[in-house]
Amino acid sequence: MKSQLLAEWQAFLRYEDTPGATPPNIYLAGLILASQPCFASIVVKHPALAAVRSIFVDLLGGGFSDAPREFGYSLTDHALTVANLLDQLSLKDCNIIGYSMSGAVAITLAAIRPDLVSRLVLMEANLDPLGPGEGAVSTGIAAQSEYDFCTHGFQALIDSFRQAGIDGNDTMSTAAGVLQVAAPHALHRSAVSLVQGTRPTMRENLLNMVIPRAYIFGANSLPDPDWDELPSHGIQVLSVPNAGHFMVWDNPEGVADALVAALTSGD
């Protein structure tokens, strides 16, 4: 694992960088989860992914990265730290793979710094501000004050995931382990920003782009109006069988196949 110092925050952004062909694939995990537990096992399951340079980024506040109290943790804040990393690595025209909340970060990055992004692959990314009942985890976090979430809401969330695992849901037991290393204040601020969205919205930014774009659904999340709507804007849609929103653990082989299809479309 490598580290990049963000001098303004005196904090380290940490990432793994594996060698391979270019342009590189930049992997951003959902809701500031650790990136390698989400993606590493997927990449090794398909030779076409394993052959490409892969950079697994832990956003500030999640995984092995630092969690400075002074940082805002908005979608734009996260996108700018990724841009800083890619600049430090002298990278441009990357393939950005964003899962869930980090799909919104990926769209924001491409809107702010189009020179860094040649292709977007979004895995059940948030495209719109979230209303009541949408994105249950994020809205549930954002509905609490930061103080309440940090003092008891965070542990209650982890406990609910763990209990689902004890009851036999292997995906939720894994999610609990990956989520429990996040900093509660970072998770709360990130969820609040996700619920609020960006202006223009993530959807508006995405639809205005001309680069290759793909959106991957877990088949268990369908039907969804975007299955028909996104292709009308030139966006490829794919589904992963036997998987829901937590597709990276529900069916990693299926995710690998979908990623290869998305990353090679038009080649």
Beta bridge partners of 215: 122, 237
Percentages helix, strand, coil for the chain (3-state, rounded to 5) are: 50, 20, 30
pLDDT tens digits along 3-40: 999 999 999 999 999 999 999 999 999 888 999 999 99
Quickly tell me which residue has 């809205």 as its tokens.
Answer: 139
Beta bridge partners of 27: 56, 97
Q: Are 6 and 13 in contact (CB under 8 A)?
A: yes
What is the pLDDT at residue 266? 76
14-23, 127-136, 155-164, 198-207: which range is least confident on average?
127-136
What is the pLDDT at residue 204? 98
Residue from 57, 34, 101, 43 nearest 258 by CA: 43
Mean pLDDT of 183-190: 97
- Amino acid letter, residue 196: Q
pLDDT tens digits along 72-101: 999 999 999 999 999 999 999 999 999 999
Structural domains present in the chain: 2-128+199-264 (3.40.50.1820)
Give the global pTM. Answer: 0.97
Q: Which two tokens stand for residue 93?
A: 């025209």
Mean pLDDT of 161-185: 95
pLDDT above 70 as % of the chain: 99
Judge whether residue 45 has pLDDT over 90.
no
Q: Which two tokens stand for residue 50?
A: 């394993």
| Confidence band, pLDDT 50/70/90 cuts, at residue 118 | very high
Mean pLDDT of the chain: 96
| Confidence band, pLDDT 50/70/90 cuts, at residue 135 | confident
pLDDT above 90 as % of the chain: 94
Mean pLDDT of 215-243: 97
Strand 52-58 vs strand 11-18: parallel, antiparallel, or unpaired?
Answer: antiparallel
What is the pLDDT at residue 207? 98
Dist CA 186 CA 72 (whole Å) = 8
Judge whether residue 265 has pLDDT over 90.
no
89-93 contacts: CB < 8 A, separation 24 or more? Answer: 89/17, 89/55, 91/24, 91/116, 92/116, 93/23, 93/117, 93/118
Dist CA 204 CA 123 (whole Å) = 17
What is the pLDDT at residue 134? 75
Output the CA torsion sign for 125, 169, 26, 221.
Answer: negative
